[in-house]
């Protein structure tokens, strides 16, 4: 029997959020490993310089695709599925729009810059929202 989302107003715990982020980081390392292997194969075994802007943009685009497709299709990445978290539109609980996805991804990256302050912000927000949630008008719900 499927469970319904917890919509009682309790925010998703910060530890659960960080655990999902950690799981997603592990998944992305795997994606990057495969992507890097493909690039090396296309370069006939020659390593790609770490300072290559093109390679960095390639990995950035793959990372965005991982999150964008996951959030658009079901509101969950692999890490979010594991920790039973879903991201939805804050007002309607509907799946995210492409605009919301772009904003959420961009702000999520910025939220890490001051030692993850944008995520720790959820501890002070009455609704438990971090910077990515606030900027994209989304919320995390427990399943």
Q: Which tens digit of pLDDT belongs to each residue from 51-71?
A: 789 999 999 999 999 999 999
Cα(78)–Cα(26) distance, rounded to whole angstroms?
Answer: 10
Cα(110)–Cα(132) distance, rounded to whole angstroms?
Answer: 9
State whether residue 89 is helix, strand or coil. strand
pLDDT band of residue 1 (cuts 50, 70, 90) is very low
pLDDT band of residue 75 (cuts 50, 70, 90) is very high
Report the pLDDT averaged over residues 35-60: 87
- Supply the mean pLDDT for the chain: 91
Report the pLDDT averaged over residues 110-136: 93
Residue 4 has pLDDT above 70, yes or no: no
Report the pLDDT averaged over residues 85-91: 96
């Amino acid at each position: 029997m499927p469970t319904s989302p917890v919509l009682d107003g309790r925010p998703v715990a910060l530890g659960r959020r960080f655990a999902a982020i950690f799981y997603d980081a592990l998944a992305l390392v795997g994606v990057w490993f495969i992507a890097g292997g493909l690039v090396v194969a296309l370069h006939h075994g020659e390593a790609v310089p770490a300072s290559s802007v093109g390679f960095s943009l390639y990995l950035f685009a793959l990372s965005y695709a991982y999150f964008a497709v996951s959030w658009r299709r079901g509101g969950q990445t692999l890490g979010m599925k594991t920790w039973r978290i879903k991201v939805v539109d804050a007002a309607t609980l509907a799946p995210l729009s492409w605009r919301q996805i772009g904003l959420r991804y961009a702000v999520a990256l910025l939220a890490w810059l001051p030692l993850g302050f944008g995520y720790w912000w959820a501890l002070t927000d009455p609704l438990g929202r971090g910077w990515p949630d606030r900027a994209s008008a989304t919320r995390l719900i427990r399943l």
